[in-house]
Amino acid sequence: MAELHPQCAAFLKMGEGQPDVTQMGTFYGRSNGHSERDLSGPIDPSVHIEHLYFTSPTADLPISIFTPPGAGPFNGMVYFHGGGWVFNYIRLYEAQLADMAKRTNSIIVSVNYQKAPEHKFPIPFDDCYAAWEWVNEHAAEIGITTGKIGIGGDSAGGNLASGVAIKIRDENKYPLAYQWLIYPCNGVDFETPSYLANADHYGLTRNGMIWLWDQYLATEADRSNPYAVPLSAKNLSGLAPAIVLTAGFDVLHDDGERYKEMLVEAGVPVAYKDLPDMIHGFFNYGKYIEQGITIRDYFADEINKVLK
């Protein structure tokens, strides 16, 4: 088994003494998240960032639009941020998404969907699907090439992207170019080897994920709804190509690996990368964990392969 990367170990040490999400609750957790705007690294000043709103079925939602330099035409992406469906917000993702917009020549629309537990499934999911439709409906005025629009997300955002990709196939309204899934939380089996091996001490805990799922899901039936729990899907055929990443010291490692296997079994093209020495969330910690920035090379290469 790989050893924990020293930068991950140092980052985790910085957070020693913080209560687990199950103790801190929603208010403290949200308040604590409004810090270190440069946590993911420097923001590329050549990328234009615009803050707008669009209307979902139940709310007016903030979105950030990242436009790379140049005259276009541009590819497109709709991005759903992580945070266990409860925490985080789009401005924490400006460094990563500005960089990815430039690397993939994409206009990226990042969505501040409504949060659980105040807004349980299907509301956050519906917000994300509505954002996908809105971007397609307004592609020409935004400057995006129709048919070259993907979706992406990390952690809970990876879950939302996975579910939205399934609904995009089911509705068959607009073509999806790809799904970019960064350590997605796609299942509710908390007895997997990675849940047990990484239950504590690596940031996101097993108890924390159990608590977060309880905040998000409204009914027991949601646990077998593939839009909420993609690993419960009976049919993944016909989905868009996927780029999937997992981290070794992450309770969600086996969720991502199993979902990758299910996609492959269903005939979906998949680019898969596992980083055995990384922790959950490292994509957001580029200021302290170099791999959070360098992994963008891999992501951009794989997205550009699909778009070509």
- Distances in whole angstroms, Cα of residue 129 to Cα of each of 141, 264, 293: 20, 24, 28
Q: Which of 155, 194, 222, 254 is catalytic?
A: 155
Residue 229 burial by CB count (10 A; 0-12/13-18/19+): exposed, middle or buried? buried
As a whole number of angstroms, the distance between CA 307 and CA 207 comes to: 39
Is 280 an annotated catalytic residue? yes
Could you tell me the two tokens for 20?
């687990």
157: which 2 tokens? Answer: 């955002």
Contacts of 170 (CB under 8 A, 6+ apart): none
- 59 burial type by CB count under 10 A (0-12 exposed, 13-18 middle, 19+ buried): middle
**Residue in 5, 81, 119, 280 annotated catalytic:** 280
CA atoms within 13 A on the CB side of 227: 18
- Phi then psi for residue 77, to 5 deg, are -150, 140
Distance CA(43)–CA(17), nearest Å, equals: 30
Q: Which of 44, 126, 154, 250 is catalytic?
A: 250
CA–CA distances in Å: residue 6 to residues 200, 248, 278: 18, 14, 10
Q: Kindly give the pairing relationship between strand 60-67 and strand 106-111.
A: antiparallel
CA–CA dist 231, 263 (Å, integer): 10
Assess whether 250 carries a catalytic annotation. Answer: yes
Half-sphere exposure of 184 (CA within 13 A, CB side): 30
Catalytic residues: 155, 250, 280
